Structure 1
Amino acid sequence: MKNTLGKLYRNTVLGYYLIHPFYVVYEFFLKITPDKLFIKLKFRKHMGYRLNLNYPQTFNEKINWLKLNDRSKLHTQAADKFKVREYIARKIGDEYLIPLVLQTKTTKDIVPENLPDFPVIIKTNHNSSGGIIVKNKNDINWKRSRFHLKKNLKENYFYSSREWQYKNIEPRIVVEKLLTDKNGAIPYDYKMHCFNGKLVFTQVDLDRQTNHTRNLYDVNWEFIPCQWIYNNGKQIEKPVTYAQMQNLAEIIAQDFIYVRVDFYVMEKTIFFGELTFHSETGLGKFEPEFYDKHFGSLLNLPI
């Protein structure tokens, strides 16, 4: 029932107007709930055990400790899908940025006349809601798309996740060139998890639009035999640009205790995707559970 209502709210105009008044009440209670209490309750519900913030041991416990204790203006800039571009250009160079088509604070600018004829992705800069993929402008319901974007601009992802970096981002719409291979497919993105400035493992997600699977690889590109939320998929060869991506990720990671650095590879050309500071918002179960403790032991917190 909850999932059905969520889909109605997110995907239909009627559902939004019917459910939004109840969401406003729900959001009010979210806002007045203290961060620590909210995080502890949500952790217990999803993970099945109490969150130990005084002596965190597992990876997920430490991610939630970081939510409460690791906050800076740099985190806000780096989580902003528009302003992070300036940070990345400064750290590793603007040649790694995906071409920007448009950025705006109003949905009125999202019309076919303002967009190129090549494929693009339209997204908001302040949450993790994905984006609108446009391969052919004539195939898009623009009125519905603008409504979806307008709704996203009004939301503050912080209150439902308590990931502080999203709280003070100034909402806007970002349009970037859509990266596709010669067959028109979106390339893999390599999510490089860095602990204390060093790469520990890389996450590769497969078939996200159909049958989402996920593989983890260690720093030597050896498959890690565990499932993290999703089942394992087909094995992926180490990209030819792996060493370069590792170097770039670790340059960025020097500024953070923990960060996930995402890259795309297009015919040996590397493009930066995004930065994430609380993967799976610290609620991602590992199977077997050993890996939650194992990765947790590798992440050092300033406690």
Structure 2
Amino acid sequence: MKKILKFFYKKTIIGKYLITKLIKLNDFYLFYIKPEKKYLTDKFEDSFGRKINLENPITLNEKIIWLKLYDRTPLHTTCADKYAVREYIIDKIGEKYLVPLHFKTDDPKQIIPENLPDIPFIIKTNHDSGGGIIIHDKYKPEINWKVIRKGFKKRMKDNYYYNSKEWQYKNIKPCIIVEKLLLNKQGNIPFDYKIHCFNGKANMIQVDIDRNADKHYRNWYNTKWEREPYKWTSIKDEGKTTEPSDTEVDKPKTLNEMITLSEKLSQDFCYVRVDWYDLDGKLYFGELTFHHDGGNRPIIPEKYDKILGQKVILPKKSQAAHN
């Protein structure tokens, strides 16, 4: 059946039209009609080949799904907002850890060279997940600002909650922010260091290497900077996954500072990933993420999903509104 549908989609105009319409209808049902809990439990079963145990979640991925459904506070929304979280960071650890902000607007039409800095920068929205548009030189003639504005106009209308069912995104007021592009002395974007904190304590460290390159590697370390025996990959473009690198990453000189700051930022949460950039020895805060890969990517070997899950103590089920 799949081969037949693929043939009609690729070889006939009417086939492409009808299949496109069916896909849109299916997406509308999944994102806007299907009950939230059913959506999440079905997706978990598709990812792991088994039903989730929400009454007594054991694995880390099960607990992430549980948190998606039952751990909801206004602070989650504030901290998922890439603009509003800046005040939280200032209050908790200080302004010096923020990436410099050059421009903020609610109107995509304002994304014009005259409003943007003369140094390399990144343009992104505050209310979704994913990368932004990197501009090294705004004067380059090949930059199509009209296309960029059109893309951000579309993103401003999207509500990331409906695709992910991550409640914290649902009530964020969208805006566009322009930040300094962090580049090290070699002119490269620095590694990402992501500290996964369980109940206010740093537990494991994810290092993303060359995330904007063809081969995006991801290594896992404990807080003593010893390589972990598992992997927790994400799916990237063309189905590629973020596999561990064969080479080691040098222990950052800022590791202890990174861990201490992450634990300060994680005190209000059961589970959170705190992202950092180490720019030639100076730390910059990246973002806070509450549901790594949505709780839908296997940890391999499988036993470590349970081992890590046992370290997370869930709060009592909240009565947070689902609106």
Deviation at 1:21, TM superposition (A): 10
The one-letter amino acid of 1:289's match is E
Instruction: Give the 3 Å change call, closer, same or farther, for CA 148–19 of structure 1 in structure 2.
Output: farther
1:153 to 145, 151, 156: 156
* Structure 2 gaps, min length 5: 7-18, 234-241, 317-323
- Please name the residue that 1:131 is paired with: 132
Aligned positions, number = 289
Which aligned runs of 4 or more in structure 1 are off by greater than 4 angstroms?
18-22
Residue 300 of structure 1 is matched in structure 2 by 313
- 1:211 aligned partner: 215
Q: Which residue of 1 aligns with 2:15?
A: none
State which structure, 1 or 2, has the greater radius of gyration over its C-alpha atoms.
2
Q: Distance in 1 between matches of 2:20 and 2:137?
A: 32
Query: Which amino acid counterpart does residue 61 of structure 2 have in structure 1?
Result: N
TM-score, reference length from structure 2: 0.86
Structure-2 separation of matches of 1:225 and 1:28? 40
- Decide which of 226, 234, 252 is 2:230's aligned counterpart: 226
Q: Percent identity?
A: 50
Aligned to 1:274: 287
Alignment partner of 2:277: what SS?
A: strand
Letter matched to residue 101 of structure 1: H
Paired position in structure 2 for 1:11: none
Shift of 1:96: 0.4
Which digits, 9 at most, give the CA deviation of each residue in 1:86-143, with x for residues without a partner? Answer: 1100010011000001111111110111111100000011111210000011242111
Matches within 5 A, 1:192-203: 192-203=195-206
Contact 2:123-2:179 within 8 A present in 1 as well = yes
Q: From 271, 276, 281, give the equivalent of 1:263.
A: 276
Of stretches 230-239 and 35-44 in structure 1, the one that deviates more from structure 2 is 230-239
1:89-100 correspondence to structure 2 within 5 Å: 89-100=90-101
1:222/1:33 Cα in 2 relative to 1: closer, same or farther (>3 Å)?
Answer: same
- Displacement of 1:266 in angstroms is 1.2
Relative to the length of structure 1, the TM-score reads 0.91
Following the alignment from structure 1 to structure 2, what is the Cα–Cα distance between the partners of residues 204 and 58?
22
1:224 aligned partner, one-letter code? E
TM-aligned CA distance change 1:186 to 1:294, over 3 Å: same
Report the CA distance between 1:24 and its aligned residue: 7.1
3-state SS, counterpart of residue 200 of structure 1: strand
What is the Cα deviation at residue 22 of structure 1? 5.9
With 58-67 and 216-225 compared, the bigger mean Cα shift is at 216-225
Aligned partners of 2:267, 2:206: CA distance in 1, in Å? 20
* 3-state SS in 1 of match to 2:268: coil
Q: Secondary structure at the match of 1:227?
A: coil
Deviations for 1:40-78, whole angstroms, at most 9, x for unmatched residues?
Answer: 011111122111100101110000000001001000000
Preserved contact between residue 27 and residue 159 of structure 1 (Cα < 8 Å): no
Shift of 1:235: 1.1
